[in-house]
Structure 1
């Protein structure tokens, strides 16, 4: 029977939280991956609750200093150390990880089932990852996880604007990084690092183009091409120069430019038609890619400027 994942409100309950924002990735056949934000600025002193036993790990990026953190596993204190903002910690959910909550805290928790790690290892034909290497209470200075965490934190702030392809891509990258850095997985062989065949590029781009809202899953596109998700994502980037979610954002911008050039539609309608969550989302993405706001671009285009 499939285990329920320890993320979102299920994880938040262990920290005595009423809300725990979560983003979920379904890019692997074996399991869901997720990132949950846990934060409390004025907690009541207590021991965190036991989390459901699970054949999975939590990888935590700390966003706030937490001095004298008392860590527990299997019902006893195993470490006491100062936690620094920006550090990464690992927890094995089979060991009943808990800690004393007696001061404000703020962290991201990435839920990584062992089956997901096995999938990552299976794709390059590597041996199964038996355990991740860590010591309770020991933090890691991990720049990759800090970067991924900062990107996903923005997504947690604006879930309605967050592209599922982006969440899939970032969580897949994090899982591969954890497997290599803490599980001893070797990177895929050079022979597996080529791009897609021309027909695969066309089919993948057609599938992405057919749904500008980005609801199609990486797993679905990869399966149609007979590839693993990680192989497809890597090969797509080699072939197009962009990961799938970034390629799709540029297609949305192009679609919006076409609408603005030929119609006098309100920007709010153009935003929705081009696959953006709302006008604010459209303006931020368009400005970051094109360099000017949609309104300024439309005025220039109507004056005879070329499409960007």
Structure 2
């Protein structure tokens, strides 16, 4: 453990060629240590800091030349050594996104741009990326039902980083036949968790373009659409059977009954049990 670092906690998940790590570091005083994952291309996002202000350093004894900004970010190319420093740190939380560039190139094809990851970029800020990263690290561990969500968010982060300072335009709508084809496929596959690349391939688009075009066409992301349909499946099972919630959860792709209860209450405004009592067919 580095000097004055008391404890480091990590939580890791992966989607779509991107590994996302939520890191909590507890310290007591001056901290200076090597940043993690030198052999990977990565993005670090400062989420919270208590005590001293954190900074990335290209050299151990040389301060970062860029002014501190809340929720600052850094792009770090593979093979580059970076140091993390804070004068009087008590706690910091940061997200690390590790990019499997060969896999992303295979999946994104013509949309893949690697140049923004060739040089370090320190202490920049992008509120759109911050929002996506916060959503990623908030996805519960082992939540298989969030596959489409994780795929979509990681594709979005990579697209925004690849665009650099170029404006990311609003997505064009899908053609009506494309919407029908995707929705029919998603319905046929329920409750299986579909990967974003499957849906994009149906209409011959990149993941990022498809995700934006689908939302522009339907008003919902692919994940939101699929979740809404799964909740509708729950409603049908609740009124048409006496199956216990564990069985309903398994049949509709939720991890367990508690996961089902939380999601259903958020969508319907009441628990499955209360909804069943009000709507049960007698």
- Relative to the length of structure 1, the TM-score reads 0.74
Q: Confirm or deny that 1:67 pairs with 2:46.
A: no
Q: Confirm or deny that 1:208 pairs with 2:198.
A: no
| Per-residue deviation, 1:268 | 1.8
User: Which of the pair is proportionally richer in strand?
Assistant: 2
| Per-residue deviation, 1:68 | 4.3
* Structure 1 residue ranges without an equivalent (≥5): 1-14, 27-31
1:287 equivalent in structure 2: 265
Per-residue CA distance 1:141-169 (angstroms, 9 max, x = gap): x33233223322221x4433651101011
1:58 equivalent in structure 2: 43
Q: Confirm or deny that 1:276 pairs with 2:261.
A: no
1:174 equivalent in structure 2: 157
Contact 1:165/1:244, CA 8 A, preserved across alignment: yes
1 CA distance for matches of 2:268 and 2:119?
A: 44
Per-residue CA distance 1:202-229 (angstroms, 9 max, x = gap): 3322332244344321112222332221
2 CA distance for matches of 1:292 and 1:257?
A: 12
SS of the residue aligned with 1:63? Answer: strand
Q: Confirm or deny that 1:154 pairs with 2:138.
A: yes
* Structure 2 residue ranges without an equivalent (≥5): none
Per-residue CA distance 1:85-128 (angstroms, 9 max, x = gap): x51311313431221476432111123456648987943xx987
Per-residue CA distance 1:231-285 (angstroms, 9 max, x = gap): 2212222222211110111111111111111111112211111111111111111
Are residues 303 and 64 of structure 1, via their aligned partners in 2, closer, same or farther at CA, if it must alter by over 3 Å?
A: farther
Tell me which of 125, 145, 148 is aligned to 2:129: 145
- How many equivalent pairs are there? 273
SS of the residue aligned with 1:77? Answer: coil
Deviates more, 1:169-178 or 1:91-100: 91-100
Are residues 65 and 213 of structure 1, via their aligned partners in 2, closer, same or farther at CA, if it must alter by over 3 Å?
A: farther
- Relative to the length of structure 2, the TM-score reads 0.80
